[in-house]
Amino acid sequence: MQEPQFHKLTPRAIRVWQWGNFIGNLFFFAIPAAYAAVFGLDGFHFWMVVITASIIFILWQLSIFLTPYLSWKNWRYAIDEKEIDLKRGILFKTRTLIPLSRVQHVDTRQGPLLRWYNLSSVTISTAATTHEIPALDSVLANRVRRQISTYARLAEEDV
């Protein structure tokens, strides 16, 4: 017997994460803005605002141009008749096994960004936890969902 067949996510996932982080992390600039609003921009406070804003700017840029690539590079998933196997993580590498007999329900989800790129995410819930395969081609996502629910039905056992 050998290692199960691992798949990668679609490269389009990178674009989705880039846009998502571009918009989502803009929010953090509210921190120096709020600081400036409360304390003003004189002397010491001016430098505080400049420093926090530039740190946030650097992290923002990294979250657009670096982490999506690394995240995509590290994501792997495999599905067979018995288990779902997920590998992910940039710094903290995580590997999760979900026995298919424990899967309660699977669904596909699609936000506006994912829809634009014609992608979907697949969410797998057990009685204890919920896991997500974040960005798959919509057609593929539906196939994965069907595959998981078929296997799960075959592996049916009581909670």
Partner 1 sequence: MSEFQRQHPVAAVSRALDLIRGNFITILVFLFVGAQSETFPFLWWIGGGFAFLLILGVANWWRFLFKVEDDMLHIKSGIFVRKNLYLTKDRIQVIDITSGIIQRMFGLVRLDIQTAGSSSRQAAIDAITRDRAIEINRILRRGTQKSDTPEDEITELAQEPDEILNRFKLPHKELLIAASTSGSFGIALSIIATIFSQVEPLISESEMFEYLFNMLPSQTDTMMIISIILIFIVFAWLISFFSTLFTYGNFSLEVKENEIVVSRGIFEKKRITVPYNRIQAIHVTEGIIRQPLGYASIHLESAGYGDGKGTGSIVLFPLIRRSEILHLLNDLLPDYQKEHEGIRPPKRALRRYLFRSAFFITAATALLYWGMNFNLWIWIFPVLSVYWGWLKYQDAAAAAGDDILVLRSRRLSKSTAYIKKKRIQDATLIQSPFQRMRNLCSIQMYVASGDHGKSFRVKDLEYNDGLKLLNDVRKNGIEFSELVDEQVVNKKVPLPGWG
Residues in the site for partner 1, rule: CB under 8 A?
A: 1-4, 80-83, 89, 91-99, 101-102, 126-129, 131, 157-159
Four-CA torsion 79, 81, 83, 87, nearest 10 degrees: -20
Type of residue found at 113: L
Whether 101 and 157 have beta carbons less than 8 Å apart is answered as: yes
Question: Closer to partner 1 at the Cβ: 85 or 121?
Answer: 85
Task: State the nearest-atom distance from the C-beta of 86 to partner 1, in Å.
Answer: 9
Question: Closer to partner 1 at the Cβ: 42 or 158?
Answer: 158
Whether 101 and 91 have beta carbons less than 8 Å apart is answered as: no
Question: Closer to partner 1 at the Cβ: 102 or 145?
Answer: 102
Distance, in Å, from the CA atom of 31 to the CA atom of 22, rounded to the nearest integer, reads 16
Task: State the nearest-atom distance from the C-beta of 4 to partner 1, in Å.
Answer: 6
Task: State the nearest-atom distance from the C-beta of 93 to partner 1, in Å.
Answer: 4
